[in-house]
Structure 1
């Protein structure tokens, strides 16, 4: 009887997703909805996962901050990524504040890793480095600090 397929429940699907990696609640809801589960099944699955501590947006946000820092991202980029995953703004801001990252020093490290000790010899090169750090999610003050330190 191989042709007979057993339909997976929303709880099983949710646990399957969470066993591979952490998800934000909104992201998990979206995936379950795409799989064709109705809203009541999804709510039950989400509650089940939260009850057992498998789904936790605060923990997810802290992990996203750590991963973002490891990728050389600034706070703005990390916030944007979490917003796209559906993490609440309060949780995002709390995770960034709790991370005790010095974003100025982190920007400097990212710039040095990318550009080494080479001097900025033209306005075009400075603009290129500025754009790179801006894309990585550092704000104006952080970029200015990072480039001034490497410019010496």
Structure 2
């Protein structure tokens, strides 16, 4: 039986039913299947009007998925790569900044069991947190919290 050819709107709804997408990401995915009579921007406008596509829902979803493993720098870099910016990011930044040190400590606890044994081990752990996108203030707080609790 031959595969059914989906319309552009059908493809968009299939992508959105799997997970939230940013407008730029969905436009890029749909552009591969658009013909010259298809208007991707008009379709995206319709999906936003129907509340199927929402930048705020996408940003909250991405933050929720990434916040347990990554720091604010990495999360906001990814949001900006999806074309998000403005006051929505400022609102998210304020919420994430409050618990970044606690998240960094938890990431450190999952990776390492005891306190650092020497300066080289301490530097290795700090580089690990830097690669995860945590700010230097959160890294310092996590290292202090990890050393004093263990």
Same fold (TM over 0.5): yes
- Superposition RMSD on alpha carbons, in Å? 2.2
Query: Aligned partners of 1:115, 1:39: CA distance in 2, in Å?
Result: 56
Query: Aligned partners of 1:129, 1:138: CA distance in 2, in Å?
Result: 12
State which of 133, 137, 145 in structure 2 corresponds to 1:137.
133
Query: Aligned partners of 1:101, 1:67: CA distance in 2, in Å?
Result: 17
TM-score, normalised by the number of residues in structure 2: 0.86
Query: Aligned partners of 2:86, 2:12: CA distance in 1, in Å?
Result: 24
Q: Which whole-Å deviations, capped at 9, do the CAs of 1:62-112 have from their partners, x for residues lacking one?
A: 111111123x21111111222222223543332232457511111112212
Question: Which structure 2 residue ranges, 5 or more long, are not aligned?
Answer: none
**Residue equivalent to 1:128:** 124
**1:33–1:39 contact (8 Å) kept in structure 2:** no
* 2:146 matches 1:150: yes
**1:24–1:56 contact (8 Å) kept in structure 2:** yes
* 2:80 matches 1:83: yes
**Residue equivalent to 2:93:** 96
TM-score, normalised by the number of residues in structure 1: 0.85
Identify the range of structure 1 (20-29 vs 83-92) with the bigger mean alpha-carbon deviation.
83-92
**Residue equivalent to 1:15:** 13
**Residue equivalent to 2:63:** 65
Residues 37 and 139 (structure 1 numbering): CA distance in 2 closer, same or farther, change over 3 Å?
farther
Total equivalences in the alignment: 148
